[in-house]
Amino acid sequence: MAKPVLWVVIPCYNEEQVLPITAPWFLKKIQELTEAEKISINSRILFVNDGSADKTWEIIRDLAAQDEHYIGICQSRNRGHQNAVLAGLMEAKDKCDITISIDCDGQDDINAMDRMVDEYLNGVEIVYGVRAKRDKDSFFKRFTAEGFYKFMKFLGAEVVFNHADYRLISARVLQHLADFEEVNIFLRGMVPLVGFQSATVTYDRAERLAGKSHYPLRKMLALAFNGITSLSVKPISLITSFGIGFSVVGLILMIWAVIRAIMGQTVVGWASTICIICLLGGIQLISIGILGQYIGKTYLETKHRPRYIISARTWEKEERKYLEDNNS
């Protein structure tokens, strides 16, 4: 059996501090897997520059000039982590047998790649990297993160618990993933929808080596909301259920009020009236907002805008000249 060609896909956004540290780690891991005869010598490390405002792209170009295992693509502008990962996967799907996507901050254990490749060699098409524990997270982050996965499952979205974007995907699965053309991308939910045999590999997550996290609470909440509205319409069903429930309660209260009025037992209830109006008004505004999110996503999908645009590749003509100049 021929050794599989592996492309490690690494999204990068303003990573000039951490990239020089972790890039040699990825290269060493590729070399170890090659020496163990698990992957082909033609395997590569693909950095995806997501419109960085610092020297990330210059570092990627320099790495490509130093070693042929390093290659890179540059997006025309910042389009977000999910789009950057997808751009790398789509770039790799026709050039390799398997991909492993991983962040470049050094938090995900690269030694888990050995077990991922072993699973693939045993016939598995998708291998999810799953965090073994969250003991290094704050209580708030652990509570919100685990609550997110449980909430997603409750809403009917198929996601792997405690899995982010560290995963192995075969080229065959990528070919089918390419048929998913939605603009609102949430890979944690899209990949399981493709199907095929899958497995999980657990690992311990470390602290970020350098730089700052590009996923503060605001972006995490946006990602969670995007995932929910991209993968499930259950929120709309919940709105309908709430509407029916309150309508039934309202009907009962209306009959009760009429009976009280006939019996002459009505009293002025200003406070209770205001509370009911505020409650129902808030529920209506939230419901309209949720419906608006779905309508907005539908509007964006109908535009069929590109999910990413590649402005440069390290192996193209103008980039080859840069590499040759740096090697001379």
Q: What is the pLDDT of residue 262?
A: 67
- DSSP codes joined into one string, 227-252: HHHHH--HHHHHHHHHHHHHHHHHHH
What CATH number is given to the structural domain containing 28? 3.90.550.10
Q: What mean pLDDT is predicted for residues 87-103?
A: 91
Question: Quick one: what percent of the chain has pLDDT higher than 70?
Answer: 64
Tell me the CA distances in angstroms from 131 to 107, 158, 214, one per residue in order.
11, 17, 19
Tell me how many domains the chain contains: 1
- Say if 243 falls within a structural domain: no
- Say if 298 falls within a structural domain: no
pLDDT tens string 180-213 = 888 778 888 788 888 888 898 888 877 655 555 5
- Say if 296 falls within a structural domain: no
Q: What is the pLDDT of residue 57?
A: 92
User: Residue 132: beta bridge partners?
Assistant: none
- Say if 262 falls within a structural domain: no
- Say if 285 falls within a structural domain: no
Q: Could you write out the three-class secondary structure of 86-104?
A: HHHHHHHCCCCCEEEECCC
- Say if 278 falls within a structural domain: no
Q: What is the pLDDT of residue 227?
A: 62
- Say if 89 falls within a structural domain: yes
Average pLDDT over the chain reads 78
- Say if 170 falls within a structural domain: yes
Q: Which domain holds residue 89?
A: 6-231+305-327
Tell me the CA distances in angstroms from 187 to 62, 134, 194, 214, one per residue in order.
30, 22, 11, 18
